[in-house]
Every structure is written in C-alpha cells, then in structure tokens.
Amino acid sequence: MVKERFLKYIGFDTQSDEDSCSTPSTDKQTQFLKQIASELEQIGMSNISLKPENGYLMATLPSNSQEHLPIVGFIAHVDTSPDASGKDIKPKCIIYDGADILLNKEQDIFLSEKDFPEMAQYKGKELIVTDGTTLLGADDKAGVAEIVTAMEHLIQHPEIQHGTIRIAFTTDEEIGRGVDKFNVEEFDADWAYTMDGGEIGELEYENFNAAGATITFFGRNIHPGYAKGKMTNSMTIAREFASLLPANEVPEKTEGHEGFYHLTKTEGTVEECTLSYIIRDHDRIKFERRKRKINEICSHLQKKYGEKNIHLSIKDQYYNMLEKIEPEMHIIELAKQAMIDCGITPKVQAIRGGTDGARLSFENLPCPNIFAGGHNFHGRFEYIPVSSMKAAVSVIVRICTLIKTDMKLQEKQ
C-alpha cells in the first residue's frame, strides 16, 4: 500500500518557493494537505486539525493500551525542493538488475551504479525512478506515505497495543520555514521522529548548525570607454570577497563533520551584485568562527572600497540538535531496537543538513530523524527502493509497540 500511496502523492506538485512571503509559500502545498486530511479521515484518524494559515496538518491515533504510556509523534514535510522541478513527475518502477537505467532516451540520461555505487545493494529490488526531467519527491513524500500507511496498519490491526500517537505534516521545510508556526504545545507529544532521512537504516540526531548570509556589493557604472579611475564594478568586489574564503571549505570538498561555506546564488550588474551563502558546521564554536570570518572579510573590503559599498546580513537558521537529544538518549535506543527487530542495521550518522526536527528539538520536542528510504534527493537522479519504504512503515509500527516495554521510559513516568 505504501508504494501506491507514494505514487499518488508525487502526482501533486508541492514545490516551495523561497521568494514567496506567504505561509505556506505556495498554495499547492495547502491543496495537498487537504488531500491528506481527507485520507486521514477515511482511514479513521482522530482530532484532525488542518491549519493552512500556519502550514501544518495534525492528527491523532488514540491509545488502545490500558497502560499510561508516553505520547510519540511522527512528522514529515509535504513540500519538494526548489532545486528541481516537481511538476508532472513521471515515475518508472523497475526491478534493478545492475545495468544502467535509461531515464530519458531523448536526452540520453542514465542512472548508473558507476556514478552512484550505493545502488549495488538494491540489485533484484524494485526501484522507483524519475524520467530524468524532474525530481522524484521522495524527500519527503516517502515519509508522508510511510506515516499514513503505518497509521492505517495500526487502525486495521487493533490487536497491536500502542499508546497515543500524534502525526504532523509541515510545509516549506525545504526553504527553512517548516516549523516557523508549528505549535509544539498543540502537538502534545513527549518526543517525535521526523521521517526525512535517506537510505534504509539511517538514524540521525546530530545535524549542522546553519546560517544564511547575503552580501550586497554596490558599485558605480561609467561608460567602459571612459571608466578609468571612475568605475567601481560591484561584481569585481564580489569576486574578491569569494576569493578570500577558504577554497577547500565548500560542499564538494568536505564530508562527515567538516563544515563549509556554500555559494548558492549570484545576481549582479556593474552597479549592484548580491552573493547568497549558506554557512554550515556541526561544531558550534567553529560555526561561530565561520560567521566571524564572513564579517571580517566584509570589514576588510569596506575599508578598501568604502563602508557603504558592502552590506552584510547574516541570519541563523537552526542549530545542532545533539545537545537536546543527548539527555534523552532513550528515544535513540528505542529507534535502534525497532530497526533491529525489523531486521535493519541502524546507521547512526550526523546529518550534513538539517530537518524540521532540529528546530523542534530546541522547542522542547526532542525529534531525531529516521530514514525515509530515498537517494539523490533534489535532482533528476533521485530514486527510492520500494522495500525501503516498506521497512520504514515497519519501523514506525515497531516503535509504537516498543514504548511500553522500554523501562527507561517507564522510569520517566
């Protein structure tokens, strides 16, 4: 059922828009939330609350246990990344035999194990791929489908004992606004898991500290034939700024816990040029040092070209959830055990990114991240094994049933 549900969900174009000031940033996300709300009502969920003005949908599966158990939550986001089109997705379902997968004959686009070696583990399994012109939307419609399917399974099998379960679907996660208006008190869970990770087995409770920086450079345009000593080219100043950042501290040259500066957008003319960066580091001290580096370079250039010619804006986006999860490690052990019980080897690792859960953890809702099963998010080479989605459903169900046997949790009551 999770496969069919996922294929239905990716038929909705829910791309978020970072240039929009509305909530959600696109109305098509609201339309998808309405579809899910209707489906939740059909399968028998309770307390369904859709608040489009805040960009979220919540629902409850009441406890069927005689015990007083903690309330667990599961969260996924409905938007897809602005990095690639999410409109008119044409998925293909194939049994992977190890050969290159032809995604698009006209454009000669292949999905190849040579480029993505991790594909080797899925030989003989069914993969859902794109047609090479859009992303797939497994980030995070796979998570949405898995949560809904798990709830449906529990409703259809009342013999499975569980406590109260809360679920939520958010918008605009891909543009960093996913929980801007999320009401943690209304959600009313003791902790939660975002179903927003990558390949099967991933369990993440450490993520980047993150900030966004926008630097605007102002110049003066003069006819190039008469420009000597008069023209100031804002793009030249911008180029100088970029050259003063560490050349090797960029995404394409870092891994693991290594942080980076990432230039995401440039816009410019001779008169005005803007550089947009994201700043990332797992270590909070190094994160603050990176922000100071940006400030120092701007100050240096202001002295050289004039204070009014460079304008800097830096805004923190989210922080490493590790410090909030460490006091609650029982929720990590619970997820690990659920995976093991489902025959899955947990892969605990740091996220080279962030999730809604990172910000929620700092709002007193500890919220680590569990795999949704997809690969190569945000682009045309995105794919997901059907078996990984089924495994994620099993892990959600198992977590819900394990809570009553977790002695550490009982001690917290």
Q: Is 211 helix (H, G, I), strand (E, B) or coil?
A: strand
Return all residues near 147 (Cβ < 8 A) that are at least 6 apart.
74, 75, 76, 167, 169, 195, 396
| CA-wise closest residue to 275 among 284, 263, 283, 290 | 263
| CA-wise closest residue to 379 among 46, 40, 103 | 103
Task: Clarify whether 140 is annotated catalytic.
Answer: no
CB atoms inside a 10 Å sphere around CB 115: 11
Answer whether 365's CB lies under 8 Å from 196's CB.
no
Set 131, 140, 146, 173: catalytic member = 173
Answer whether 216's CB lies under 8 Å from 310's CB.
yes
Q: Which amino acid is at 185?
A: E
Task: Clarify whether 13 is annotated catalytic.
Answer: no
Alpha helices in 24-137 (DSSP H): 27-43
Count Cβ atoms within 10 A of the Cβ of residue 18 and give its class: 0-12 exposed, 13-18 middle, 19 or more buried. Answer: middle
Q: Which amino acid is at 106?
A: E
CB atoms inside a 10 Å sphere around CB 107: 11
How far are the Cα atoms of 7, 50, 137, 160, 393 from residue 151, in angstroms, in the given order? 18, 17, 21, 11, 9
- Looking only at the bridges linking them, the beta strands covering 109-111 and 72-77 are unpaired
Q: Which amino acid is at 4?
A: E
Q: Which residues are catalytic?
A: 79, 173
